[in-house]
Amino acid sequence: MDSTHGNDLVGAAQLLADQCRDAARSGRGLSDTTSIRAAIDRVQSLLFQLEPTAFLQHIASQSQLLACLQWLGEFQVLAYLPLGADGGLPIKDVAELADVPETHLCRVVRLMAMTGFLREPQPGFVAHTTLSASFVRRPAQLDAAMFLAETVAPSALHMAAATRRQEEFAVDWGSKRVQRQWPSFLSAVGGADDTDILAQMDWESMVQGDGPPGCVVDVGGPLPRKGGAAGASAAIFALAESHPTLRFVVQTDLPTAPAPMPATCNNNLAVYQRAQGTPQTITDAAVYLLRLSTSVCTPVRTRIVSELRAHLGVLQANRAALLILTSPLLPEPGAVPPHVERLARLRDLSLLQLVGAGNLTLQELVDLVDSIHDGNGGLVVVKKLHAPNSAVVGLGIRYQTIMRLTG
C-alpha cells in the first residue's frame, strides 16, 4: 500500500467514524446524512486508488442492482409483498403472483438483500426492508428508478456513438410514462430546489400600501403543493400562505388544464395555463419568477431565451418590475462542495445525453441575459442570489435603456 494513500485512507476513515459518532451524540441520529455520505465517498475513492479492480467490481455491482430493481418494478414484485409483515412471503408464492421463474426471483432477491434492499427473514422467504418499502409507499421513487434503467442508462451508454455520429438518443417524450417518470428522476437526482433562493427576497417590500395587492407571477414553475410537500413545488404555496397581502399567480405550460389546486388560507393563489414563450399578458406584476419546470424536455438555453424574450416588453414598459430567473448551474470546479458538484454534473450529463444540451455556467447564463435587447435597451442582471450547498442561482433582472452619446 502506498504510504500517502494509506495515510489518506486512515484519515478519511477516522473522519467517517467521527461523523457517525457526532450524529449519534447530537440526538439528531442519522437524519442529516450529507456529511456522512461525503465521508463515505472519500473513503471509497481512496480504496479505488489502492485497488482498481474494486472500482470495476463496484460498477458491475451497481449495474446489476439497477437491472434487478428494474426487473422487480417491471413485474410489480414489490407491490405483492405486504408492508410491515416481518415474516414475509414464500418466494415460491411471490413468483406465482408475479408470473416469473422462481429460480430467477431467488437470484434477484438474494443480490438485493445483500445490499439492504429486501431481506430474507428465513430461507425461501422474502420481505420488505425500510428501503424497499419506501418504493411502494412513494411511487415516484420507483418511477425515477425505472426511468434511470430504461432511459437514462441506455442514453448514457449511447454517448460515444452520439459523439461519433452526431446523433441524439431517441426518447419518446410524448409517452405518458416518460412524462411521469422524467420529473421523478430529476427530483430524485436533486439540485434544482430554489426554495433557499426565494427565501432571500424581501417580499414585504412589494406590499403597495393601501393600493391593490402586489402581484407575483410564477412562470413555468412546478404546480404548487401544500402540506407535507417539500422543495420547489411547495415554495410558492408557502410564500402565498406567509404573505397574505401579496397576490400570487402560477402560469403553467401543461398541455391540459391542471387539477384543482389547494386553496391558501388567504385565497391569494391562482393557477392559469400559458404556453411557453408566448407574450406575458400580466403587465402590472411587481415580480416575475422565471422557474422553468423540469417536466419540459426542451434544452435549458432554448427555454430561457424564449421566456426572456416573452418578458422583454413588460419589463420595458414597467421599469419597477423585477424578473428573478432561477436555474441549476454547471458549477465551476471547487465552487461548491464536492457532493453538490457531483450531483450537478450528474444532472448536467443526463440532460446532455437526453436532450442534447446540459446546464449553463453562471457566466453563460449572465451572457444569455445580456443578449436579450430591443432597439432602445435590454435586459441586465442587477443582483445575484446564491444559497449555501446549492448549485442553483437566482438572477435579478431589469430592463435598462441604452445611454446614447450625443454631440
In this prediction, residue 364 carries a pLDDT of 95
Please determine, looking at this structure, whether the domain spanning 195-337+356-401 carries the CATH number 3.40.1410.10. no
Q: Which residue has the higher pLDDT, 171 or 396?
A: 396
In this prediction, residue 36 carries a pLDDT of 74
Q: What is the pLDDT of residues 324-343, one digit of tens each?
A: 999 999 998 888 888 889 98
User: What is the average pLDDT value for the chain, to the nearest integer?
Assistant: 84
Grid-cell match 472500482, residue found: 55
Instruction: Give me the CATH code for the 3-135 domain, please.
Output: 1.10.10.10
All cell numbers assigned to 280: 406575458
With the CA atoms of 301, 303, 308 and 311 taken in that order, what torsion angle do they form, in degrees rounded to the nearest 10?
Answer: 180
DSSP calls for 167-228: -PPP--TT-HHHHHHHHHHHHHH-----HHHHTTS-GGGG--TTSSPEEEEEESPPPP--TT
Highest mean pLDDT: which of 82-86, 239-243, 255-259, 377-381? 377-381
**What predicted TM-score, i.e. pTM, was given to this entire model?**
0.82
Cα separations (Å) of 124 from 16, 88, 343, 368? 36, 10, 38, 60
Q: What element of type H or E holds 24?
A: helix 3-26
In this prediction, residue 186 carries a pLDDT of 87
Q: Which residue has the higher pLDDT, 403 or 231?
A: 403
Q: Which residue has the higher pLDDT, 320 or 212?
A: 320
In this prediction, residue 256 carries a pLDDT of 45
Of 53-57, 262-266, 377-381, give the lowest mean pLDDT range.
262-266
Is beta strand 246-252 parallel, antiparallel or unpaired with respect to 269-273? parallel
What ranges do the domains of the chain cover?
3-135, 141-189, 195-337+356-401
Helices (H), 213-334: 232-242, 300-317
* pLDDT, average across residues 99-124: 95
* pLDDT, average across residues 259-283: 78
The span from the CA of 305 to the CA of 307, in Å, is 6
Is residue 403 scored above 50 in pLDDT?
A: yes
If we measure between CA atoms, which residue out of 244, 252, 248 comes closest to residue 235?
Answer: 248
Helices (H), 214-370: 232-242, 300-317, 338-355, 362-370
Q: What is the pLDDT of residues 347-392, one digit of tens each?
A: 999 998 988 888 999 999 999 999 999 988 999 999 999 988 888 9
State the DSSP code for 152. I
Is residue 258 scored above 90 in pLDDT?
A: no
